Amino acid sequence: MAKVLFEGVSKRFGDVAAVDQLDLEIADGELLVLLGPSGCGKTTALRMVAGLEEVSDGSLSIGDDVVNDVDPKDRDVAMVFQSYALYPHMTVARNIEFPLRQQRMDAAERTAKVAEAAGTLGLGELLDRKPGQLSGGQRQRVALARAIVRDPKVFLMDEPLSNLDAKLRVQTRADIVSLQRRLGTTTIYVTHDQVEAMTMGHRIAVMQGGKLQQVAPPEELYERPANTFVAAFLGSPGMNLLEAERVGDKLITPAGEINVPEHLSAVLDGPVTLGIRPEGLHLSTSGLAGTILLVEMLGAETQVHCSLEGGATVVVRQGHDAQRPTLGDPVVVGVDAAALHAFGPDGTRVAGT
């Protein structure tokens, strides 16, 4: 068991900085989710921890040791690959046992450990099968069993659920979380699925273009996004963003005016990017003017896309009992000013909000 520490870690492939000056500490026993859009450097960051990718710059530690130059095999980390990486010619039992055979451990002890790991993941019946004879979910569990059997310092998981169907994914998600809480092993979990991130992580680190955007517990990330990228990336759909200018006690936008709310009045000045979640908007009689662009019925709720005067597009979330608007109709969008977020011209959250 150990913490993992990135200090100014970069990874360059030629001119591309896949990971750029990453500073991040993962506490002992924590499950940290690395979240971000495709190509943002999540896998690269994970593979550097494993030692499968060399660190170009900065220092990477596991526990108290800098591991930049340590061989993967000496790092005592276990990785669950997206493809599972099971050995197709070995039985489930042999697959799980494989990491142990390298350690000087006698056969009886190995068998006991395999049985324990298999039991934990409900694989007892499947020990004699080959991976080719297993379902996707079963293979996934074998991969997990192979990771836990070694009792490593750190688990690394790279989108381990992406090959499963939606239902199995929800189930396995819960299994991984309870397993991790029980074992208390430091875990770095990579995904680009924000639902997975929000439900699994103690904390989430959001990356974009190789750079860390914010690291925080799920609620904080949702409630206090550090910049416009995180704001728009999290949530489905993400936060609406509106360009505005403070004049007196008004926030002026091309589509209308909003009163400056109390929590922002002391900190705002001049141009600002306003952020508001879809649930902070409603169809109303006073507010911002626009037309209805698209109406999406999602069962329990309806998402109304509106094109505001001046060109911005916002999404309004309605309960399913609300009256259904008609496409192309003019509309006025009411703003719950107390729910407004404010971002400066550089996109970062306005200090003190």
Partner 1 sequence: MRSLAVRRRREWALAYALVIPALVIFAVFTFYPFIQNFKLALYQNPPYPGLPSHFVGLSQVTSTLTSTSFLQSLESTFEFVLLVVPIGLFGGLMLALAAHKKLKGMAIYQVIFSSTVVSSVAVAAVVFGTLMDPVVGLLPWLGLNPHPAILSNPTWALPAVAVIAIWQFLGLSFIIMTAGLQSMPEEVLEAARLDGARAPTMFFRVTIPLLSPTIFFGLVIGTIYAFQSFGQIDILIGPQNAAFTHTNVLLYYVYTALSVQNNPGLAAVLSIVLFVILLSVTLLQFRFLERRVHYASN
Partner 2 sequence: MPATEVQATTRPRSHSRKATLKTVLRYAFLTLGAFIVLFPVYMAVVNSLLEPSQIAHQPPPFFPTNPQWHTYPDAWKGGSLGIYLRNSAIQTAIIVAGQLVTSILAAYAFAFLDFPFKRAIFFAFLMTLMIPFEVTVATNLTTVTSLGWFNTFPGLTVPFLATGFGVFLLRQAFLQIPRDLKEAAQLDGYGHMRFLWSVAIPLARPAIAALGVFSFLGAWNQYLWPLLVTGNNNAVRTVQIGLKQLLNTQLDQINVSLAGTIIAIAPLVLLLIVFQKQLVRSLTAGAVK
- Kindly list the residues in this chain that would bind ligand ATP in the complex (CB under 6 A): 13, 16, 18, 36, 38-44, 192
Q: Which is nearer to ligand ATP, 39 or 99 (CB)?
A: 39
Other beta carbons within 10 Å of 239: 23
Candidate segments 98-106, 163-171, 189-197, 327-335, binder of partner 2 by CB under 8 A: 98-106
Residues between 5 and 44 with contacts to Mg ion, criterion CB under 5 A: 43
Q: Does residue 68 bind partner 1 (CB under 8 A)? A: yes
Whole-number Å distance between alpha carbons of 192 and 33: 10
236 binds, among ligand ATP, partner 2, Mg ion, none (CB under 5 to 8 A by kind): none
| Shortest Cβ 238–ligand ATP spacing (Å) | 18
**193 is written with which tokens?**
């699925």
Q: Which is nearer to partner 2, 67 or 281 (CB)?
A: 67
Residues between 100 and 159 with contacts to partner 2, criterion CB under 8 A: 102-103, 146, 150
Residue 84 and residue 143 in contact, taking contact as beta carbons nearer than 8 Å: yes
Residues between 51 and 90 with contacts to partner 2, criterion CB under 8 A: 51-52, 72-75, 77-79, 81, 83-85, 87-89
* Interface size with partner 2, residues (CB under 8 A): 23
Residue 230 and residue 213 in contact, taking contact as beta carbons nearer than 8 Å: yes
Burial class from Cβ neighbours inside 10 Å (0-12, 13-18, 19+) for residue 31 reads: buried
Whole-number Å distance between alpha carbons of 158 and 166: 17
| Shortest Cβ 201–partner 2 spacing (Å) | 23
Which residues have a Cβ under 8 Å from the Cβ of 136 and sit 6 or more positions away?
A: 163, 164, 165, 168
| Shortest Cβ 75–partner 2 spacing (Å) | 8
Whole-number Å distance between alpha carbons of 246 and 242: 13
Burial class from Cβ neighbours inside 10 Å (0-12, 13-18, 19+) for residue 254 reads: middle
Asked whether the bond before 237 is cis by omega within 30 degrees of 0, the reply is: yes
Q: Which is nearer to Mg ion, 27 or 52 (CB)?
A: 52
Q: Which is nearer to partner 1, 66 or 177 (CB)?
A: 66
Q: Does residue 64 bind partner 1 (CB under 8 A)? A: no
Whole-number Å distance between alpha carbons of 197 and 189: 9
* Interface size with partner 1, residues (CB under 8 A): 6
Q: Which is nearer to partner 1, 71 or 346 (CB)?
A: 71
- Sketch the per residue contact string, 40 through 79, with Mg ion: x for CB under 5 A, - otherwise: ---x------------------------------------
Which residues have a Cβ under 8 Å from the Cβ of 34 and sit 6 or more positions away?
A: 42, 45, 46, 188, 189, 190, 191, 205, 207
Interface with partner 1 (CB under 8 A), residue from 15, 64, 71, 106: 71
| Shortest Cβ 15–ligand ATP spacing (Å) | 10
Binding positions for partner 1, rule: CB under 8 A: 54, 68-71, 74
